[in-house]
Amino acid sequence: MDQLQPSSCLLKKILHTFLFFPLLLLIACPDTDPSSVPDPDTTAQDAKKLNALKQVSLGLDSIRIQPLFQSGLNQEWDSTLLSGPDSALMLNPNSYQIRISLFAYADNKKKNAQEALLQGITFRETFDKYSQSPVLLRSGPQILPAGKTTPLFISDTLTFQEHQEVFLYIITSLAEGTNLNIKTQPLIEYSFGQLTGTLDNLPLISTSVPTRLNPSTQNHLKALLDKGVFNPKSGP
């Protein structure tokens, strides 16, 4: 019996090796998708693109505010219409819109500036004290050549349903001819490979926007305000 012990031990070692060797191979050689490993050259190029975008500074030329009738309503700014046959339509706050047009620029003229890709930008507009209800103006992608200043134009319409308090503030300022206090915060979006995010550390721009309307439009808006048409409403 003593002579069989060495061969028995040897058999155990062989079985142990065959059983556990595949497991060791799995641990040492995990199944890794080569495409999931970032290419160093591509990563470096993405970092350069992001750095080029960080060198761009944004500025604001002007903001224009214009009251409008909803699309399809061919009405005149005439306060006498508020008591005419279309009075129900004219006294409906949802019959009106406010067009906000923003004229800005992207300055890419710093020393050693490179062509930058602006993939998307949002201008967050805060009107007066209504910081909880900012108006967002968005634009699409644009190439910013090195050594140049590129104009940016964004325009959108504001409805009463979306921002009731802000809408009332703007209409009141337009009717009274007083300036609008607006703070503009630019937010630059980027997505270069695995580098994605938003540049939100750009300077906040404070402006006082003058309002200039003809007397007929002002009287129309004043009549609407006197009737409480744009007073904020609770519920749906």
Domain with residue 168: its CATH number is: 2.60.40.10
Quick one: 61 and 11 in the same domain?
Answer: no
Q: How many domains does the chain have?
A: 2
User: Taking the model in full, what pTM does it have?
Assistant: 0.78
Tens of pLDDT, residues 6-40:
555 554 554 454 444 444 444 444 555 555 556 67
Token digits of residue 147: 């050594």
Structural domain boundaries, residue 194: 44-226
Does some domain include residue 205?
A: yes
Handedness of CA 194, 106, 203, 210 (dihedral sign): negative
Quick one: 107 and 159 in the same domain?
Answer: yes
pLDDT for the residue numbered 154: 94
Token digits of residue 103: 């004229």
Does some domain include residue 93?
A: yes
Tens of pLDDT, residues 155-213:
999 999 999 999 999 999 999 999 999 999 999 988 888 899 998 888 899 999 999 89
Q: What is the mean pLDDT of residues 83-90?
A: 82
Quick one: 215 and 131 in the same domain?
Answer: yes
